[in-house]
Amino acid sequence: MALRPQLEAIIYAAETPISLDQILSLVKESVLAETPGIEPAEIKSRIRATLEELIAEYAGADHGIEIRQVAGGYRMSTKPEQHDVVRAFAKSLKPPFRLSLPALETLAVVAYRQPVTVPEISEIRGVDSGGVIATLLDRKLITTAGRKAVIGRPILYKTSKEFLLRFGLRDVNELPSMEEFEKLLAESFQSDAIAGDGSPAEESLSLPLTPGEDFSGEGESSEAISPTGNTAEIADGDEPEPANQEEETETPAATKPE
């Protein structure tokens, strides 16, 4: 069986980015049957070359999806050029998860200051962040990174692979700079304030799944969405932030369309 359609089918069917080694384990026997005696290194090289061909093909203007390298693997996602139709589709679905604004703030601190401890996060935010950390750990958006070599040896936290998956990043180096982040955040809230018929809009924030996405949703790039419907929306709850504890607002996850 030809290698190219196998790789295309595997990447399409994968719900999470699939690595080169995982692909190799799946197609190795097929390649060996077609080319007896081929060396494993040559098989891997052939797979990599075929993947590059697929990436180049899907990059063409006649395709609405593309193959991207995300979090150490390969994944299909929609192209930024399809912003309007993808955004309309994503808005018709219930978001897979929702986080409170305090949780979003805490996640941002971890992302930009990692590895970081809870006391350091609380000092930056000016409020106890222990409860929010538990929420982010439960959602697997952050993970532990050992202990800091100071008195008490507090636990260090960093962003996880799930964080990269949710926001379509190859690594944390693709995060916008702090200046860009603050500008996008300000534009988002300004857009929300004048939305609708002039009444104050609910404070909400749809985070980008592709680098460069406008937080207000009015830029030219688009949220990337996989064929299984993966997307992410972050929103603030209706309750004001308590002095010592923040609670997340949660809705059930949407069923992924096939």
pLDDT in tens, 112-147: 999 999 999 999 999 988 889 999 999 899 999 999
* Per-residue pLDDT reduced to its tens digit, 62-108: 899 999 988 889 999 888 888 889 888 878 876 666 778 888 889 99
What burial class does residue 201 get, using C-beta atoms within 10 Å of its C-beta: 0-12 exposed, 13-18 middle, 19+ buried?
Answer: middle
Does 229 lie in the same domain as 136? Answer: yes
State the pTM of this model: 0.46
Q: Residue 64: inside a domain, yes or no?
A: yes
pLDDT of 166:
82
Q: Residue 173: inside a domain, yes or no?
A: yes
Q: Is the pLDDT confidence value at 3 over 90?
A: no
Q: How confident is the model at residue 111 (pLDDT cuts 50, 70, 90)?
A: very high
How many angstroms separate the CA atoms of 214 and 222, rounded?
8
Q: Residue 14: inside a domain, yes or no?
A: yes
Does 226 lie in the same domain as 106? Answer: yes
How many angstroms separate the CA atoms of 244 and 230, rounded?
33
How many angstroms separate the CA atoms of 115 and 49, rounded?
36
Interstrand relation of 73-78 and 234-235 (parallel, antiparallel or unpaired): unpaired
Does 130 lie in the same domain as 223? Answer: yes
Q: Residue 38: inside a domain, yes or no?
A: yes
* Per-residue pLDDT reduced to its tens digit, 35-55: 888 888 888 889 999 999 999
Average pLDDT, the chain: 75
Domain final residue, candidates 63, 78, 93: 78
* Per-residue pLDDT reduced to its tens digit, 166-214: 888 888 888 888 777 777 667 666 655 554 444 443 334 444 333 333 3
Does 221 lie in the same domain as 105? Answer: yes
Provide the 3-class DSSP secondary structure of residue 221. coil
Q: Residue 185: inside a domain, yes or no?
A: yes
pLDDT of 11:
93
Domain count, the chain: 2
Q: Residue 250: inside a domain, yes or no?
A: no
Does 72 lie in the same domain as 111? Answer: no
What burial class does residue 182 get, using C-beta atoms within 10 Å of its C-beta: 0-12 exposed, 13-18 middle, 19+ buried?
Answer: exposed
CATH number of residue 180's parent domain:
1.10.10.10
CA separation (Å) from 170 to 47, 71, 162, 209? 20, 5, 11, 11
Q: Is the pLDDT confidence value at 216 over 60?
A: no
Structure tokens at 43: 């098989």
Does 105 lie in the same domain as 74? Answer: no
Does 221 lie in the same domain as 118? Answer: yes
Does 68 lie in the same domain as 114? Answer: no
Does 209 lie in the same domain as 116? Answer: yes
Q: Residue 69: inside a domain, yes or no?
A: yes
Q: Residue 10: inside a domain, yes or no?
A: yes
**201 secondary structure, DSSP code:** P
Which residues form the domain of 150?
Answer: 101-235
pLDDT of 179:
78
Q: How confident is the model at residue 160 (pLDDT cuts 50, 70, 90)?
A: very high
pLDDT of 149:
92
Does 106 lie in the same domain as 62? Answer: no
Of 248, 247, 241, 243, residue with least CA distance to 128: 243
Does 158 lie in the same domain as 108? Answer: yes
